[in-house]
Structure 1
């Protein structure tokens, strides 16, 4: 097996077309991402993306430093066949920085897939689905803009949306739910608080929202409030999902034991990689919990990583949230569009991730780079 000879890292800023508010913070103007490229001795390249958010997993600056300074010595010069050992060394080379480790595993799998001629989903155990239902989040504080987006989604065949709640007031959340149920009855509506509710009023507000019968309600309170999550779960007749409460397998074990949720949002970035995300999903499935393919503020490269992971993980049954490349970014970085058709993400068949970034786009949006 070939050796890894080069590593290049870019910190890029991609402009976005709207503001998005969540219970723990807002995003507007642009998103910060870190792009990683590995090269083997025959010139084959593999790519990965670290999609961070400072209020959730960490910062792009931290991901850049984690990859460039602390992880690099454990990668360059090593055989690609040592992927498991490289990932194990990277895990302990720097604490936290789960997005950086996810980018590394993505690039290693992409590189191995391109050399072997296999898609990443084949390297992760084989494909269980060829399409994944797409969900789009509704999070603009200007609700009229979201209504226009809803009309576009309906025309495009998307039939799942997730309403971001808890960033303004309860009346605004109820108003939007009433309007969406009246004007878009064909949509599967989910609700996500992103930890936005105060413990004193969380239960009564979640009860009100449960009356609209969403498919699930996600993470109403702060991540560490396991007891309150369990009380809310027991009180409502709508499935409760955990997101920020469960990053990796370590959190999943406690979440199952304390019965804090009926399901979990699986994210490659917070889990620290594709295989760790699969482990979280399998733990959830074994305990009778559902799983959903969530994401961060990602470009198409990270969407591809999540797509291959979900394609090889039968326990993730509630669709995916890989909408940003199509509906949020002014410009994606992939050489070809991220594959979405009729409200479904199409799982690529080509080697590696199936689509590569356009190096010119990466260079254009870069604000920092490093590599040899």
Structure 2
């Protein structure tokens, strides 16, 4: 089935709550990108990019990458060529992993629909039908976040990740103490600094937060301070999770060799393709490093792709953040949202990504469309 059209949409997602992180804040809205690949036979494959300017790239740059550089690689081709297309994408364009991931997502969605198989089956087969749901506590209105946590506890969620490093250490300790007080014994507390600590006193600070016995501490210092990550990993009893320090398989090899973390957060938006995400997971697994499913501020298309990835990847044992379209974004673009139940996100069973896009809702969120 030949692809004869690609549409690229710049979107604007309203947020239901303010979010603060060590690396930057989000108040009202975030841009995103949605693409669709159309075949002559009428099938549509969907993909999504979720850049964040303080983390990696911008949505506007992702739109240009897809519209100008990646579009010529797919028109007149079929989804069966997806591996060759993605190799050509890396030769045609340096960086822009979010744009490339959106393209790979849409190609896999088409291929799965054509084969009558879920994307997870195309990625190697299902090893789990659901992924334990990890939710982030990042609202500067901490009373509202405590209410959010209580609501999620009532729904069966047991993994809670507190965003730290955007305020004072004393405030971080207070927030951790207040959250820990409401968590049951079977809940897991995690801590994420989003690069928010200065390397000079990071170890002293982290020894304080270890009193809460977190399951892991994520990316305490800046991405390029891998020397400090090595020292922190050696000094701290709590496992250290690398996020911003590991985008690619090559960086995963460096992480495993230098042991600048004990575990890795795999975000498809960092990896740039399912294959590269799988490679990162394989490297981590060989090094005895479990993996966590991180996300950006993703709508339902990308979240569903993440679920297919985690459901087919044995190393993804630390849970995942596949929830933002339900609790954080103010727009739902799937006719049937990502299923969240019993403290987990669940794998769709239909062919391809197994989704139906609400095109009216998507149109309402669209700022610009090309193609």
- 8 Å Cα contact 1:120-1:308 kept in structure 2: yes
The aligned residue for residue 308 of structure 1 is 308
- 8 Å Cα contact 1:50-1:103 kept in structure 2: yes
SS in structure 2 of the partner of residue 78 of structure 1? coil
The aligned residue for residue 118 of structure 2 is 119
The answer to whether 1:56 aligns with 2:58 is no
User: For residues 218 and 143 of structure 1, what CA distance do their matches in structure 2 show?
Assistant: 20
- 8 Å Cα contact 1:274-1:306 kept in structure 2: no
User: For residues 13 and 182 of structure 1, what CA distance do their matches in structure 2 show?
Assistant: 37
The aligned residue for residue 319 of structure 2 is 319
Runs (4 or more) in structure 1 with deviation over 3 Å come to none
1:310, CA displacement in angstroms? 0.6
The aligned residue for residue 6 of structure 1 is 5
The aligned residue for residue 244 of structure 1 is 244
* Gaps in structure 1 of 5+ consecutive residues: none
SS in structure 2 of the partner of residue 201 of structure 1? helix
RMSD (Å), alpha carbons:
0.9
* Gaps in structure 2 of 5+ consecutive residues: none
SS in structure 1 of the partner of residue 363 of structure 2? helix
User: For residues 177 and 151 of structure 2, what CA distance do their matches in structure 1 show?
Assistant: 19
User: For residues 235 and 241 of structure 1, what CA distance do their matches in structure 2 show?
Assistant: 14
Q: Deviations over 1:80-115 (max 9, x none)?
A: 221111111112222111000000000000011111
The aligned residue for residue 98 of structure 2 is 99
1:331, CA displacement in angstroms? 2.0
User: For residues 79 and 130 of structure 1, what CA distance do their matches in structure 2 show?
Assistant: 29
The answer to whether 1:211 aligns with 2:211 is yes
1:157, CA displacement in angstroms? 1.3
- TM-score normalized by the length of structure 2: 0.98
- 8 Å Cα contact 1:263-1:289 kept in structure 2: yes
1:181, CA displacement in angstroms? 1.5
1:358, CA displacement in angstroms? 1.1
SS in structure 2 of the partner of residue 319 of structure 1? strand
The aligned residue for residue 226 of structure 2 is 226
Q: Deviations over 1:173-208 (max 9, x none)?
A: 100111111122342110000000011121111111
The aligned residue for residue 141 of structure 2 is 142
SS in structure 2 of the partner of residue 270 of structure 1? helix
Could you tell which deviates more after superposition, 99-108 or 321-330?
321-330
Residues 35-114 of structure 1: pairs in structure 2 closer than 5 A: 35-114=34-113
- 8 Å Cα contact 2:34-2:47 kept in structure 1: yes
1:14, CA displacement in angstroms? 1.3
User: For residues 328 and 346 of structure 1, what CA distance do their matches in structure 2 show?
Assistant: 18
- 8 Å Cα contact 1:98-1:273 kept in structure 2: yes
- 8 Å Cα contact 1:278-1:313 kept in structure 2: yes
Q: Deviations over 1:218-262 (max 9, x none)?
A: 000001111110111111111001000000101111111111000
1:8, CA displacement in angstroms? 0.5
- 8 Å Cα contact 1:274-1:305 kept in structure 2: no
SS in structure 1 of the partner of residue 367 of structure 2? strand
1:356, CA displacement in angstroms? 2.4
The aligned residue for residue 329 of structure 1 is 329
Residues 161-180 of structure 1: pairs in structure 2 closer than 5 A: 161-180=160-179
SS in structure 1 of the partner of residue 171 of structure 2? helix
- 8 Å Cα contact 1:196-1:221 kept in structure 2: yes
User: For residues 356 and 30 of structure 2, what CA distance do their matches in structure 1 show?
Assistant: 20
Equivalent pairs, count? 370
The aligned residue for residue 266 of structure 1 is 266
SS in structure 1 of the partner of residue 228 of structure 2? helix
1:79, CA displacement in angstroms? 2.6
